[in-house]
Amino acid sequence: MPRSGEHYINSLRDGRTVYLNGEKIINHVDHPAFSNAIRSVAKLYDYQASNTELMTFETPCGNRVGRAWQLPTSRQILAERGDAAYAWARQSCGWLGRSPDHVASAITGMITHIKLFDIYSVERADALRRYYEFARDKDLYLTYAIVNPQGDRSKSPGEHTRNQFHTLGVVREMRDGIIVRGAKMLGTAAVLAEEILVAVQNPLKPGVDDKYALSFALPLNTQGIRILARKSYEATSTQLDAPLAHHFDENDAIIFFEDVFVPWERIFVYSNTAMCRQQFHGTAAEILMDTQSQARYAVKLHFLAGLAQRMTQITGINEFPSVRESLANIACHATTIEGLFRSLLHNPIQYGNYFIPNQVLLYACQAFAQTIYPQVIEIIRKLAGGGVIMLPSSVLDFNNPELNHMIEATQYSSVTSAIERVKLMKLVWDAIGSEFGSRHTQYEMFYSGPHFATLARLYGRYDWQNATDMTSTLLASDDMMDFRTQ
Ligand SMILES: Cc1cc2nc3c(=O)[nH]c(=O)nc-3n(C[C@H](O)[C@H](O)[C@H](O)COP(=O)(O)OP(=O)(O)OC[C@H]3O[C@@H](n4cnc5c(N)ncnc54)[C@H](O)[C@@H]3O)c2cc1C
């Protein structure tokens, strides 16, 4: 049987070290800062267990696990992976960014290009291969921290002279493993996941940054791992006042490693700056994980389109031509991302035995996605006016009979009741303007790296020859010459 939500929740009771608001949290699973988000993930596993054909496949050892672990050995399997990601994204309307299928896809994408690791180091390749099988067969929920903390971005980690362990690096090497110290950003879902993949996305300089050039995976309860959670939006939310934060606040954390032991069998890259880059960009890791992201993003944009339309119906502006144009713009963005996502699934490139989405198309999709999210939010803000602010202060206002007639009068709508209007408007604000909503704008702009880096990757892989050939051919044509001599 696939794992259940209950099995997942129990596995999180592992004694990990989480800090929040100055306190060390003893039981993070039932803590008001995290418990609903954990239950939302549990529902994903329950959904998976009740939709086994759509969501799972059978591993060589006979377990049924999530399709994100399935190697795309045919076009059909690639499409099925995408359908499963889409179905899971619909369970949170796209608001759980780092659902368990994201990092599972990254590891699976490394395995499609395991030859690259074999060439680099047989031992490290073996460790990765065995880790993939281990995590796949247990259907583990992994998160990752693959960005070095900001510090001074004009310097690489090795040039941060004041504190050489500002960024996670190797303290010492031992016979059975290494000791690491320092920080990584930004472990989204570190309180929800079971293990963490640590790696490096930032550029590193050979010779200067070797001790920071590593990648490994560990359980999140490993001794010395500190999860420094950001402020919880869930903790202060209610279903009525902030329904998205109430259910889907996946949290983000700085992950601090206080002299943590990492055994060799969990180390995939060691002291090799080039391999750190290749791990994501030279394999299908980034491609498969961000194809999953585009499934989620398409779902989220459709949700925002529907939310915006419902809001305009409630405020009676939905028949104005300019309002329909604004709504159509959101629908246009949602449909474009959906089309790009389907194209990633259905026009793959064959690499050995595997069918991999087109990398250039993925970069174009990422760059476009990063640009349009703030635009979509701005459109909804313009349509919302003050309606998302002129609301009862909290659910408690409904408990005071003195306020009832005033809420009825001020929350009037021609098409629905006062309470339904309040519920909808609070949902809109949580999506576009609350601290939870603002964090999502930052997330969509940055989770796959800064925009300039996405464009730099696109520039490097785009088929410029194909593009410039047309210019050359046109300029060299006889007609053109004739035109010039006339
Ligand atoms: C909500 C959220 C969740 C996240 N979750 C995760 C996660 O789970 N795991 C993970 O590993 N990471 C995660 N990230 C981190 C994310 O990957 C990084 O934010 C992203 O890679 C950008 O890095 P940075 O934030 O350090 O910004 P920087 O790299 O410092 O860039 C910030 C800005 O500085 C400018 N800039 C910086 N360098 C240059 C340059 N060389 N040339 C020109 N301009 C430059 C650009 O304007 C850029 O947009 C998350 C981020 C957010 C916001």
The pLDDT tens digits of the residues spanning 118-134 come to 999 999 999 999 999 99
Write out the residue limits of the CATH 2.40.110.10 domain(s) in the chain: 5-281
Atom number in ligand 1 closest to CA 201: 21
477 CB under 6 A from ligand 1?
A: no
Atom number in ligand 1 closest to CA 187: 8
pLDDT at residue 477 is higher than 90? no
Q: How far apart are CA 452 and CA 172, in angstroms?
A: 35
436 CB under 6 A from ligand 1?
A: no
438 CB under 6 A from ligand 1?
A: no
| DSSP-assigned letter for residue 84 | H
Q: Tell which phi-psi region holds residue 470, choosing left (phi > 0), alpha (psi between -120 and 50) or beta.
A: alpha
- CA of 190 relative to ligand 1 center, distance in Å: 18
3-class secondary structure, 62: coil
Given pLDDT bands bounded at 50, 70 and 90, which one contains residue 160? confident
285-467 sits in which CATH class? mainly alpha
Q: How far is CA 152 from the centre of its chain?
A: 25
Average pLDDT, the chain: 96
| Sheet bearing 169-173, strands edge to edge | 23-25, 17-20, 225-229, 253-263, 177-184, 169-173
**Helical residues (DSSP H) of 56-100, grouped into ranges:** 75-91
Residue owning the nearest CA to atom 30 of ligand 1: 150
102 CB under 6 A from ligand 1?
A: no
442 CB under 6 A from ligand 1?
A: yes
pLDDT at residue 1 is higher than 90? no
Tokens of 71: 């190697």
Given pLDDT bands bounded at 50, 70 and 90, which one contains residue 337? very high
Q: What is the DSSP string of 204-241?
A: --TTTSGGG-EEEEEETTSTTEEEEEPPPSSTT--TTT
pLDDT score of 481: 60
Task: Average the pLDDT over 217-241 and give the result.
Answer: 97
- Give the range among 332-336, 390-394, 476-480 with minimum mean pLDDT: 476-480
Residue owning the nearest CA to atom 1 of ligand 1: 443
Percent of the residues in the chain that have a pLDDT greater than 70, as a whole number: 98
320 CB under 6 A from ligand 1?
A: no
Tokens of 196: 């963490």
Given pLDDT bands bounded at 50, 70 and 90, which one contains residue 364? very high
Place of tokens 């498969």: 288
- CA of 261 relative to ligand 1 center, distance in Å: 27
Task: Please write the tens of the pLDDT for every residue from 3-38.
Answer: 999 999 999 999 999 999 999 999 999 999 999 999
The values of phi and psi at residue 14, to 5°, are -120, 5
Place of tokens 């989620």: 296
185 CB under 6 A from ligand 1?
A: yes
Q: How far apart are CA 149 and CA 186, in angstroms?
A: 8
- Beta-strand pair 349-351/195-198: unpaired
- CA of 446 relative to ligand 1 center, distance in Å: 6
5-281 sits in which CATH class? mainly beta
Write out the residue limits of the CATH 1.20.140.10 domain(s) in the chain: 285-467
- Whether 317 and 383 have beta carbons less than 8 Å apart is answered as yes
- Whether 384 and 432 have beta carbons less than 8 Å apart is answered as yes
285 exposure class (CB count in 10 Å sphere: 0-12, 13-18, 19+): buried
Given pLDDT bands bounded at 50, 70 and 90, which one contains residue 484? low
Given pLDDT bands bounded at 50, 70 and 90, which one contains residue 161? confident
483 CB under 6 A from ligand 1?
A: no
Task: Average the pLDDT over 367-373 and give the result.
Answer: 98
pLDDT score of 120: 96
Residue 410's contacts (CB-CB under 8 Å, 6 or more residues apart) are 390, 418
Atom number in ligand 1 closest to CA 443: 1
Percent of the residues in the chain that have a pLDDT greater than 90, as a whole number: 94
150 CB under 6 A from ligand 1?
A: yes
Residue owning the nearest CA to atom 21 of ligand 1: 449
144 CB under 6 A from ligand 1?
A: yes
**Helical residues (DSSP H) of 273-387, grouped into ranges:** 273-281, 285-314, 321-346, 359-384
pLDDT at residue 486 is higher than 70? no
pLDDT at residue 232 is higher than 70? yes
98 CB under 6 A from ligand 1?
A: yes
pLDDT at residue 479 is higher than 80? no
- CA of 450 relative to ligand 1 center, distance in Å: 5
Q: How far apart are CA 109 and CA 356, in angstroms?
A: 9
Of 105, 152, 186, 435, best ligand 1 pocket probe by most atoms within 8 Å of the beta carbon: 186
352 CB under 6 A from ligand 1?
A: no
3-class secondary structure, 19: strand
